Amino acid sequence: MVDAPERAFPRALVAALALSAMLSPLNSTMLSVVLTPIGREFDTGDAYLTQLLVTSYLITSIVMQAPGGKLGDRLGHRHALGLGQLAFLLGSLGAFIAPSENWLGLARVVMASGGALIVPSASALLRLELPPDKRGRAFGMFGSAMALSAAIGPPLGGFIAGHFGWRATFLVNLAVLPVAAGLARVGHSLHGPSPSLRGFRFDGVGSLLLGAALTAVVVGARLEGALRWGTLAAGGAGVMAFYVWERRHPEPVVDLSLLTRPVFVAGGMVVALQNLAMYALLFELPIMLGKLDRPEPVDPGPLLGALMVSMVVASPIAGRLADHFGARPIAVSGCLSTLAGLGVLFVTPVDQTTRLIPGLVCLGLGLGLSSSPSQASAMTASPRESSGVAGALLATLRYLGGVLGIVLLGLVLHDDATGAVAAHDHTSALTCFGVALVGALGCALVLPGKAPPTTGTATRV
């Protein structure tokens, strides 16, 4: 490895990584609006398609993160990124020409596997290619792109499917990936010496144990009653078995020493706890609005849009601020903003929809302000040689935060609740969100403050 001279902010590199990584959440949310036409063409019910195309994509995305990050650490992140882009491209092509629903499901799994290579490799390259005083800005732009892609997925998918058919939604990937690959070459930063796979012993057992445990957690979150808790308990037992195995393996799929680094753990927990509150709210608010006694249903789109747009706008700003003032003050300010926004939601009746918007804007700004400094700090705290695994762990924590939020909703919401019972459910849900956000605030206090000025340089991979 050689030191690279200090250079201007690598816009082409960041754009290449953001464009590649944003396809994973985009293809998760975009599919939700085209299940019905897919089912109509293949004469398949929505329930089966949801499991085949949505749940399998989510599980694969989560389960493959750690192996994908480990492969990047050993193969080289630029090569892992290229493999991920190729897998996503082939999966998208397979989905476009799919002759059956099962073929389409397999193509989606290939796409998710590609995304699980892309996301940790992109995070690792941002950590390795940029000096510390530019990482906040880069992770801010990266996070903004990821959030934006998730938000525009449903309207974009609906527009494309409505005008050109559901198969055309996969052409978006075929158009974006070559652009991302071209920008990566323009950036030049992706060229350099690579780690070697020589002597590498892939931790297959650890990968299977982790995959089984995470699958049990995700599936358990979607079940009910005793079956839910039994499946979640099996997932917990799987995590313990994975931990015991990893401590003994010479090449563990997850570098457990990351869990002994306070800044990494704190940054990851800020991301996880805030995702718990955000994703659960994205489901809870439309449910509550649907229970209002009104002649016409209330459209939750403008309310959720206020939340997401605020987050997208704040994220790159937060990165710049964190580069100048340190991660801790910006992340703490963001956490306080989320609590203030939640407080507005707490005291505002859900039927007064216009009065909810300021609280949602405040909440979105807080999420955007705290996310990128937390992620940048966590990645900076990770060892260089484990940057891919670190990025994978952060992505896994982000996913699991959302899954846990759905579990909590299942505990506090009642399907047939109306009137005072529904209002009580809403208050209970907001209380759970508040506890999570207070926990995120405590973790944000562990993040580093302003670093002393450096003349350091980025180091090539």
Q: Report the CATH number at residue 48.
A: 1.20.1250.20
Residue 110, CA distances (Å) to 85, 127, 318 in order: 11, 27, 34
Q: Quick one: 183 and 272 in the same domain?
A: no
45-48 contacts at long range (C-beta below 8 A, 24 or more positions apart): 48/101
Whether 377 maps to a domain, the answer reads yes
Q: Name the token pair of 458.
A: 């980025």
Q: Quick one: 164 and 280 in the same domain?
A: no
Confidence (pTM)? 0.85
Phi and psi at residue 190, to the nearest 5° = -85, 10
Number of CB atoms found within 10 A of residue 9's CB: 12
How wide is the angle at C-alpha 402 spanned by C-alphas 306 and 406, nearest 5°?
95
How do residues 226-284 score in pLDDT, each as one tens digit? 888 899 899 999 999 988 998 888 888 888 889 899 999 999 999 999 999 988 888 88
Q: Name the token pair of 289.
A: 């609005």
Pick the closest to residue 299 from 356, 234, 370, 346 (CA basis): 356
Q: Quick one: 189 and 264 in the same domain?
A: no
Q: Tell me the C-alpha distance between 89 and 113, whole Å.
A: 11
What is the residue-averaged pLDDT of the chain?
86
Give burial (CB, 10 Å; 0-12/13-18/19+) of 356: buried
Whether 233 maps to a domain, the answer reads no
- For residue 3, the cross-strand partners are 459
Q: Tell me the C-alpha distance between 370 and 377, whole Å.
A: 11
Q: Quick one: 174 and 261 in the same domain?
A: no
Whether 278 maps to a domain, the answer reads yes
How do residues 430-454 score in pLDDT, each as one tens digit? 999 999 999 999 999 999 987 655 4
Domain of 6 in residue numbering reads as 1-132+142-195
Q: Quick one: 305 and 413 in the same domain?
A: yes
Q: Quick one: 27 and 161 in the same domain?
A: yes
Q: Tell me the C-alpha distance between 401 and 390, whole Å.
A: 16
Q: Quick one: 76 and 170 in the same domain?
A: yes
Whether 380 maps to a domain, the answer reads yes
How do residues 142-153 score in pLDDT, each as one tens digit? 988 988 888 888
Q: Quick one: 17 and 116 in the same domain?
A: yes
Whether 146 maps to a domain, the answer reads yes
Number of domains in the chain: 2
- Listed range (89-103, 204-218, 292-306, 380-394) with the worst mean pLDDT: 292-306
Q: Quick one: 44 and 124 in the same domain?
A: yes
Whether 223 maps to a domain, the answer reads no
The pLDDT of residue 138 is above 80: yes
Whether 364 maps to a domain, the answer reads yes
Whether 237 maps to a domain, the answer reads no
Q: How far is C-alpha 117 from the chain's CA centre?
A: 13
Average pLDDT over residues 102-114: 95
The last residue of one of the domains, among 169, 195, 221, is 195
Give the pLDDT band (50/70/90) at residue 202: confident
Q: Tell me the C-alpha distance between 37 and 40, whole Å.
A: 5
How do residues 31-76 score in pLDDT, each as one tens digit? 888 888 999 999 988 778 888 888 889 889 988 998 999 988 888 8
Look up residue 51 and give its DSSP letter: I
- For residue 229, the cross-strand partners are none
The last residue of one of the domains, among 153, 169, 195, is 195
The pLDDT of residue 312 is above 60: yes
Q: Quick one: 170 and 264 in the same domain?
A: no
Give the pLDDT band (50/70/90) at residue 193: very low
Cβ–Cβ < 8 Å for 309, 418: no
Look up residue 97 and give its DSSP letter: T
Q: Quick one: 317 and 431 in the same domain?
A: yes
- pLDDT at residue 271, rounded to an integer: 93
Q: Quick one: 147 and 6 in the same domain?
A: yes
